[in-house]
Amino acid sequence: MSFQHVPVATVADALAALKRHGEGGKVYAGGVALSILMKSRIFRPGVLIDIARVKELSFIEGTPDGGLRIGAATVHRAIETSPLVRERFPLLTEVFHNVATVRIRNQGTIGGNLCFAEPASDPPAALLVLEARMKARRADGTERVIPAGEFWTGYYECALGPDELLTEIAVDPLPPGFRTACTRFTTRSKEDKPCISISAAVAAEPDGRTCRQARIGLGGVEAIFRRLGAVEEGLRGKALTREAIDSVLAGALGDLDPLTDIRASDAYRRQVTPVFIRRTIEKALGRSS
């Protein structure tokens, strides 16, 4: 297989290359996903624009308000092991620790993961719950901010245009009172991709028992990552007991549209998704089940 490998050193060069090569150009960072597709000849690139060495895309920075900015070409392992991330968003530390294996976490990048948009993946559900903002740039210098909730548009599809480059993922601090957790369920080896990946942020009323607000991000189950709005609405004002949560889930997941794949059938995912949502909420609240 022959293709052109174009290593770039700056975002400007990457954008120029994207513009120059149009649809034939593909951004290549860690190569974790693309190299597999290339080896299996599913994907035959014309030009690979290699951003692995673009320093300005690899960073983790705190913002004065307690948020974070993460460069799109930052490897999973850097996020997983960052003390700053651990201090501000322990959810991200746990989620990035869950990604594949340490070898892949040393190679794969957050931007690559998000743009590849493979449904069986852990970070998106957490970034949905944190209401992250994805910053993308075009060669003409324009920049746009895509809210996480609008970033994933289809099965292996994201909102980026062919000439756009994801540069940064930004998260603001959660409002006070939120507690977070994530759950990753595999049906085969623990090193498998997730069958179900759920992140939750829950805030209780001052009584400690009633749900003030909940955010639930769903991954692995459907073709597109999303927040479970009906569940979040249903939980508001409800007691955070096992029975009450189950009762909400029983009524609010009617629109669930699970995938069937090698890991499980749609029927199975439909049955156990509520179990893992409830467990994630309980985990966030510091209970185990």
Partner 1 sequence: MAELAYVGKSVPRVDAPEKVMGRAMYTLDLLLPKMLHGKLKASPLPHARIVRIDTARAARLPGVKLVLTGKDMPADCVWGVVPSCYDQRPLCTDKARFVGDSVAAVVATSEDIAQEALDLIEVEYEELPAVFDPREAMRPGAPVIHDRWPNNIAFTKHMEFGEVDKMFAAAHHVSELSTASSRQAHCSFETHVSIAEWSPSGYLTVYNSTQCPSLSSQYFSKCLKIPEAQIRVVTNYVGGGFGGKATSKFNIDFLSIIAAKKTGLPVKFYYTREEEFLLATHRTKQFHTIRIATDKEGLLLAREVRMVVENGGYSDYGPVVGGITAHMGGSLYHFKAYRHHADVVYTNVPPGGAMRGVGNAGYTFGTESAMDQHAREVGMDPAEFRMRNLVKRGDTTIIGAKISSCGARECLEEAVKRVSWKGPRPSRGPRKRGLGLAMAVHFTGARAMGPETAGAFIKMNKDGTVQVLSGTIEMGNGSDTTLSQICAEALGVRVEDVKIVNGDTSVNPYGWGVRGSRTTTIDGMATRLASLEARGMLFKGAAELLECDAADLDARDGKIFVKSSPERQITHQQAYMKIYDRPGSEAVYTAVSYDSPSESPDPVTGYGNWSAAYSFGVKLAEVEVDTETGAVEVLRIVSANDVGTVVNPAGAQGQLDGGALMGVGYALMEDFQVEGGQPVNPNWLDYKFPTTQDMPELEAVLVETENPSGPYGAKGLGEMVQLATEPAIANAICDAVGVRIPTLPITPEKVLNALREKEGKA
Q: Note whether 33 and 156 are within 8 A (CB).
A: no
- Residue 222 CB, shortest distance to partner 1, in Å, is 18
Binding mask 260-279 for partner 1 (x = CB under 8 A): --x-xx--x--xx--xx---
Output 133 or 279, the one with its CB closest to partner 1: 279
Q: Which amino acid is at 271?
A: Q
CA distance 141 to 63: 23
- Token readout for 196 is 């179900």
Q: Note whether 120 and 195 are within 8 A (CB).
A: yes
102 near partner 1 (CB under 8 A):
no
- Residue 194 CB, shortest distance to partner 1, in Å, is 12
- Class of residue 214 by CB neighbours under 10 A (exposed 0-12, middle 13-18, buried 19+): buried
- Residue 54 CB, shortest distance to partner 1, in Å, is 27
Q: Note whether 27 and 165 are within 8 A (CB).
A: yes
84 near partner 1 (CB under 8 A):
no
281 near partner 1 (CB under 8 A):
no
96 near partner 1 (CB under 8 A):
no
42 near partner 1 (CB under 8 A):
no
- Residue 262 CB, shortest distance to partner 1, in Å, is 5
The residues, ordered by sequence, that sit 6+ positions from 234 with a Cβ below 8 Å of its Cβ are 248, 249, 251, 252
207 near partner 1 (CB under 8 A):
no
Contacts to partner 1 by CB under 8 A: 1-2, 36, 40, 101, 185, 187-193, 262, 264-265, 268, 271-272, 275-276, 289
